[in-house]
């Protein structure tokens, strides 16, 4: 696995006069992105179509396409029969073998890995229970490295080669150490952790990113998030992310989107962050389980649900709610109201098109959405707020690990020359 240690995002353009190498790099990216943007929304493009959409000459496009095909990034299919005048072109598409992205996830209750091909399709997906939430970070990373190696082995059997990896963590990743340092992940017991220093290998460590941010990126690429939206999810805590005009907003230090610590009850319940009245003690998974009478049954303390208990707990909450269990329905109704209170503040602040529920909240959406919508309708009066602007994610709890793998896939789309293709001699 290759990882460049940079912040998981699309590369920034270079400054200064463009060299021939820069122009080649930019044009390869332009062609690659044009083909990727057409998949799977419309018919496959021909070389002539790409020339028309990019403004490049047909000769230039043909040379660039040949290079991308030779590098295993694009494939060219059978002759099209479009009914148009002139010789039909061959259909260009993204290769389903060759370079791929690896996503990893470290949760309190589970570890995950997935490999996505250039089309963004899941080709390998592995999940393992985390043996002990309180164990040292080095042990968790050793298990993750083994899981990553197994995912890569399975990918090789499918004709894929992992060229970059990203790890999703339920914690803060500061901007001054992009892609390598976890400042705080309290539910994992990780603090001031330098990932490359502890990664057991073989190979370089994956880049690291906050799980909520990656869930939002997955939502943007493969879910129901478009343009400007708020993404909120439940796992060990409450994760939040802001996407503004199609770009993840991290804030000055990288801590934007801490929706779990918006105040919903001044002088209310104490929160693990040290403040009072935050959203998390009212709508976090542990709070809902406690109010529903399930936390004691799971023999868990605080928010640390282990050995797959989180998955079982959410499924049991949904089962009881569907059966009409009064305490469970009441707990979910109160959580939904608190979520609506917090999200109304976010809506007033950034004016999003949508609010998307991810993680465990997506699984519990049938019971959370009605009180959330009622609270949002009550509190949002200065702008129109349609009921369908609040949506449940179709990705649910898979969002972070999918988003982690998508980082590399997107980089292959936006900068194939740097990440994969050999330098021009």
What is the per-residue pLDDT across 351-361, written as a single tens digit (0 to 9) for each?
A: 999 999 999 99
pLDDT at 86 over 60: no
Q: For residue 425, what pLDDT is reported?
A: 47
Distance (Å) of CA 303 to CA 235, 236, 271 = 9, 6, 12
Beta carbons within 10 angstroms of residue 413's beta carbon: 23
Which domains are delineated in the chain? 20-95 (1.10.10.10), 98-214+401-411 (3.30.420.40), 225-394 (3.30.420.40)
**Average pLDDT along the chain:** 88
CA dist 7 and 179 (Å) reads 4
Q: For residue 388, what pLDDT is reported?
A: 94
More confident of the two residues 86 and 359 = 359
pLDDT at 10 over 60: no
Report the predicted TM-score, pTM, of the whole model to 2 decimal places: 0.88
pLDDT at 306 over 50: no
Q: For residue 310, what pLDDT is reported?
A: 56
CA dist 16 and 23 (Å) reads 12
Among 366, 294, 307, residue whose Cα is nearest residue 336: 366
pLDDT at 5 over 60: no
**pLDDT class for 15, splitting at 50, 70, 90?**
low
Q: For residue 236, what pLDDT is reported?
A: 67
Q: Is the peptide bond before 53 cis (omega within 30 degrees of 0)?
A: no
CA dist 339 and 282 (Å) reads 8
| Segment 374-422, tens digit of pLDDT | 999 999 999 899 999 999 999 988 999 999 999 999 999 999 999 898 7
**pLDDT class for 20, splitting at 50, 70, 90?**
confident
| Segment 243-254, tens digit of pLDDT | 999 999 988 888
| Segment 246-305, tens digit of pLDDT | 999 988 888 899 999 999 999 999 998 889 999 999 999 989 999 999 877 765 444 444
pLDDT at 186 over 50: yes
Phi (first) and psi of residue 397, to 5 degrees: -80, 0
Give a three-class secondary structure readout of the chain: CCCCCCCCCCCCCCCCCCCHHHHHHHHHHHHHHHHHHHCCCCCCECHHHHHHHHCCCHHHHHHHHHHHHHCCCEEEEEECCCCCCCCCCEEEEECCCEEEEEEEEECCCEEEEEEECCCCCEEEEEEEECCCCCCCHHHHHHHHHHHHHHHHHHHHHCCEEEEEEEEEECCECCCCCCCCEEEEECCCCEEEEEHHHHCCCCCCCCEEEEHHHHHHHHHHHHCCCCCCEEEEEECCCEEEEEEECCEEECCCCCCCCCHHHCECCCCCCECCCCCECECHHHHCHHHHHHHCCCCCCCCCECCECCCCHHHHHHHHHHHHHHCCCHHHHHHHHHHHHHHHHHHHHHHHHHCCCEEEEEHHHHHCHHHHHHHHHHHHHHHCCCCCCCHHHEEECCCHHHHHHHHHHHHHHHHHHHCHHHHCCCCCC
Q: For residue 420, what pLDDT is reported?
A: 92
The average pLDDT across 199-224 equals 92
| Segment 46-79, tens digit of pLDDT | 999 999 999 999 999 999 999 999 999 999 987 6
**pLDDT class for 88, splitting at 50, 70, 90?**
low
CA dist 51 and 149 (Å) reads 40
Q: For residue 110, what pLDDT is reported?
A: 87
Q: For residue 82, what pLDDT is reported?
A: 56
More confident of the two residues 12 and 326 = 326
* Rg of the chain taking only CA atoms, in angstroms: 23
CA dist 262 and 270 (Å) reads 13
**pLDDT class for 174, splitting at 50, 70, 90?**
confident
CA dist 266 and 273 (Å) reads 15
């Amino acid at each position: 696995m290759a990882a460049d240690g940079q912040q998981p995002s699309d590369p920034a353009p270079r400054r200064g006069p463009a060299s021939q190498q820069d122009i080649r790099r930019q044009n390869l990216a332009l062609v690659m992105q044009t083909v990727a943007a057409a998949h799977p929304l419309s018919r496959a493009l021909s070389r002539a179509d790409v020339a028309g959409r990019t403004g490049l000459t047909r000769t230039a496009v043909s040379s660039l396409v040949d290079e991308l095909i030779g590098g295993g990034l694009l494939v060219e299919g059978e002759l099209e029969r479009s009914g148009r005048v002139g010789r039909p072109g061959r259909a260009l598409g993204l290769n389903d073998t060759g370079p791929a992205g690896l996503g990893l996830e470290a949760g309190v209750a589970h570890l995950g890995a997935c490999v996505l091909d250039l089309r963004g399709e899941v080709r390998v997906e592995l999940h393992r229970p985390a043996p002990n939430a309180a164990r040292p970070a080095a042990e968790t990373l050793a298990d993750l490295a083994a899981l990553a190696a197994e995912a890569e082995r399975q990918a090789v059997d499918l004709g894929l080669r992992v060229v970059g990896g990203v790890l999703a963590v339920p914690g803060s990743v500061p901007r001054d150490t992009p892609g390598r340092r976890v400042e705080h992940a309290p539910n994992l017991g990780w603090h001031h952790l330098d990932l490359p220093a502890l990664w057991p290998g073989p190979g370089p460590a994956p880049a690291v990113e906050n799980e909520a941010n990656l869930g939002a990126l997955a939502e943007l690429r493969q879910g129901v998030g478009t343009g400007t939206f708020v993404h909120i999810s439940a796992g060990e805590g409450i994760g939040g992310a802001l996407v503004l005009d199609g770009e993840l907003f991290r804030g000055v230090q990288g801590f934007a989107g801490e929706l779990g610590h918006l105040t919903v009850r001044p002088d209310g319940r104490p929160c693990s962050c040290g403040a009072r009245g935050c959203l998390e003690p009212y709508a976090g998974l542990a709070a809902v389980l406690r109010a529903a009478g399930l936390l004691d049954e799971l023999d868990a303390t605080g928010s640390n649900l282990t050995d797959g208990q989180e998955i079982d707990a959410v499924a049991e909450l949904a089962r009881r709610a569907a059966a009409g269990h009064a305490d469970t329905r009441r707990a979910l109704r109160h959580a939904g109201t608190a979520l609506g209170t917090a999200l109304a503040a976010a809506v007033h602040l950034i004016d999003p098109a949508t609010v998307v529920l991810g993680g465990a909240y997506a699984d519990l959406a049938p019971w959370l959405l009605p009180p959330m919508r009622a609270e949002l309708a009550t509190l949002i009066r200065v702008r129109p707020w349609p009921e369908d602007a609040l949506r449940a994610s179709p990705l649910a709890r898979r969002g972070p690990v999918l988003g982690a793998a998508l980082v590399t896939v997107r980089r292959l789309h936006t900068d194939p020359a740097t990440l994969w293709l050999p330098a021009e001699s």
